[in-house]
């Protein structure tokens, strides 16, 4: 699902969008209709100040966030598509302004293409915390379409993000035996979170299929896959290219992903409604990387994910490279598109128990549960695993 404060709300100065016309303001608490804050989904910092889905940051944001759309001129203007390049030139090289114009044009096109939905978006401003599902879905789609339009071809992922994506991939494509250095035996038991650090297992290690022998690779459903930046890390960790499926609401993101990885299955759609996310169980792992905060009912989303993972060691992975603290900020500033925060350890335990699964957390914090919560604020990674595990 990356690092930005996209379009409309930035912690230090913001550009805001009004449905009746674009306007900019320099006030911190700027609240105009149809505001969108930067999300926190999957693909982090790219050279040239660009970002896709992976790890979104913000200008003036917390340490470790990466900047996208913060007014800097991209170093690879020629690599953008013609529409984005034109808007960026019109905006004098200011990424915030160019993205705001692009997003506004997309929203305004709904006035003709989908007048009922356009009216609903306008009316929704009065009750931003009780958002209609179709309104929220469309706003997420248009926002990520805008992000995708400004991702330069061939953009590189920085070293810190590579480390985090490698850890997420290792957790996604490994069985209990191979994740022993990564996770405590059972976080729900609260008997200690272990002693090993998250980075101790190599992301390149050969994985063991969750429901089969050592020669079987991992079938992964990547929810909110964005432009597919996580895919190389998943493949290196043991994901099966032929059974991998990435889904995303943004058609532009899906197009980017298909260009980067021809022949891999990337589909536009919503997780809850997609036939790819319906029983029978077909996946070893379902990954929500920077995506779970977009679900109003997170327990229902995790239940659906559990139902399509193999009972013999299948797992649901919840991750966010910028951590739970980042998501709290974006949810507070952008309730129309980010209805939820990342679950606390206690909430994860409850959801795991309800599903008959066990919760595994990174062990970098040692035996200190409070330190583990703090760690999730900086880099969120948790695994819900079916209790019947292959051995």
pLDDT, tens only, 374-391 = 889 999 999 999 976 544
Give the domain-ending residue among 130, 149, 168.
149
Average pLDDT for 202-225:
61
Q: What percent of the chain has pLDDT over 70?
A: 66
**pLDDT for position 370:** 81
Are 6 and 143 a contacting pair, CB within 8 Å?
Answer: yes
Write out the residue range of the structural domain in which residue 78 sits: 14-149
Does 176 lie in the same domain as 301?
yes
Q: Are residues 99 and 208 in the same domain?
A: no
Asked if 64 and 182 sit in the same domain, the reply is no
316 and 222 belong to one structural domain: yes
Taking residues 151-157, report their average pLDDT.
80
Does 9 map to a domain?
no
Categorize the per-residue pLDDT at 131 as very low, low, confident or very high, splitting at 50, 70 and 90.
confident
Is there a single domain that holds both residue 133 and residue 59? yes
pLDDT one-digit tens code per residue, 156-190 = 888 999 999 999 999 999 754 444 444 444 443 33
Weakest-pLDDT range from 4-8, 151-155, 380-384? 4-8
pLDDT recorded at residue 245: 97
Domain containing residue 203: CATH number: 3.40.50.150
40 within a domain of the structure (yes/no): yes
Let me know whether 94 and 179 are in one domain.
no
Closest CA to 318 of 52, 58, 40: 40
Phi, psi torsion values for 23, nearest 5 degrees: -150, 155
Mean pLDDT, range 330-342, rounded to an integer:
90
Closest by Cα among 219, 210, 218, 161 to 44: 161
**Band of pLDDT at residue 191, cut at 50, 70 and 90:** very low
pLDDT at 221: 97
Instruction: Give a yes or no: residue 238 inside a domain.
Output: yes
State the pLDDT at residue 211. Answer: 45
Do 143 and 248 share a domain, yes or no?
A: no
**Do 145 and 163 reside in the same domain of the chain?**
no
What integer best gives the mean pLDDT of the chain? 73
Residue 190 lies in a domain: yes
> Measured at the alpha carbon of residue 122, what is the angle toward residues 118 and 127, in degrees to the nearest 5?
130
Q: What average pLDDT does the segment 131-138 reach?
A: 90
CA dihedral for 136, 354, 316, 184, sign (positive or negative): positive
Q: Report how far residue 107's alpha carbon sits from residue 366's, in angstroms, rounded to the nearest whole number.
A: 48
Count up the domains in the chain and report the number: 2
Whether 335 is in a domain gets the answer: yes
**At which of 149, 169, 192 does a domain end?**
149
Residue 390: the pLDDT is: 45
Statement to judge: residues 177 and 84 lie in one domain: no
246 located within any domain? yes
So what's the pLDDT on residue 243? 95
In a domain, 4, yes or no: no
Choice between 110 and 50, residue whose per-residue pLDDT is larger: 110
Give the pLDDT of residue 163: 94
Asked which of 149, 180, 212 is the last residue of a domain, the reply is 149
184, 133: one domain: no
The pLDDT assigned to 54 comes to 56
Question: How far is C-alpha 140 from the geometric centre of its chain's CA atoms?
Answer: 12
Q: What is the pLDDT of residues 245-304, one digit of tens each?
A: 999 999 999 999 999 999 999 999 999 888 888 988 889 999 999 999 999 999 999 999
Selected residue with higher pLDDT from 82 and 210:
82
Confidence band for 196, pLDDT divided at 50, 70 and 90: very low
Let me know if residue 252 belongs to a domain. Answer: yes
Q: What is the mean pLDDT of residues 69-96?
A: 71
93 and 207 both lie in a single domain: no
369 confidence band (pLDDT: 50, 70, 90): confident
Higher pLDDT among residues 214 and 310, named by residue: 310
What does the pLDDT average to over 191-203?
Answer: 29
Q: What is the mean pLDDT of residues 211-215?
A: 48
Lookup: tokens for 200: 């101790």
In this structure, the answer to whether residues 204 and 302 fall within a common structural domain is yes
């Amino acid at each position: 699902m990356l690092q930005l404060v996209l379009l409309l709300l930035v912690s230090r100065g913001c550009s805001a969008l009004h449905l009746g016309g674009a306007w900019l303001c320099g006030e911190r608490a700027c609240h105009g209709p149809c505001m969108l804050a930067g999300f926190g989904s999957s693909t982090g910092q790219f050279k040239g100040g660009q970002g896709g889905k992976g790890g979104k940051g913000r200008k003036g944001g917390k340490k470790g966030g990466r900047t996208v759309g913060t007014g800097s001129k991209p170093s690879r203007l020629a690599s953008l598509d013609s529409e984005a390049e034109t808007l960026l030139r019109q905006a004098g090289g200011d990424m915030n302004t160019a993205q705001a114009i692009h997003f506004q044009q997309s929203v305004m096109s709904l006035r003709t293409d989908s007048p009922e939905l356009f009216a609903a978006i306008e009316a929704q401003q009065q009750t931003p915390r009780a958002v209609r599902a179709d309104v929220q879905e469309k706003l997420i789609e248009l926002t990520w379409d805008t992000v995708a339009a400004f991702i330069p071809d061939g953009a590189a992922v920085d070293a810190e993000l590579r480390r985090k994506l490698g850890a997420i991939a290792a957790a996604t494509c490994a069985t209990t035996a191979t994740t022993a250095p990564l996770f405590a035996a059972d976080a729900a038991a609260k008997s200690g979170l272990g002693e090993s650090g998250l980075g101790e297992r190599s992301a390149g290690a050969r994985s063991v299929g969750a429901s089969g022998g050592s020669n079987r690779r991992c079938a992964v459903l990547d929810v909110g896959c964005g432009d597919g930046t996580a895919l190389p890390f998943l493949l290196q960790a043991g994901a099966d290219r032929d059974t991998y499926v990435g889904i995303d609401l943004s058609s532009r993101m899906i197009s980017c992903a298909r260009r980067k990885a021809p022949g891999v299955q990337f589909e536009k759609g919503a997780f809850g409604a997609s036939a790819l996310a319906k029983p029978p169980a077909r996946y070893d792992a379902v990954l929500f990387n920077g995506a779970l905060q977009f679900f109003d009912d997170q327990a229902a989303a995790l239940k659906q994910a559990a139902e399509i993972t193999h009972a013999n060691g299948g797992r649901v992975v919840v991750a966010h490279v910028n951590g739970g603290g980042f998501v709290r900020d974006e949810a507070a500033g952008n309730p129309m598109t980010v209805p939820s925060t990342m679950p606390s350890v206690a909430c994860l335990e409850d959801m795991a128990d309800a599903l008959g699964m066990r919760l595994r957390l990174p062990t970098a914090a040692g035996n200190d549960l409070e330190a583990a919560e703090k760690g999730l604020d900086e880099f969120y990674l948790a695994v819900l695993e079916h209790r019947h595990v292959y051995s």
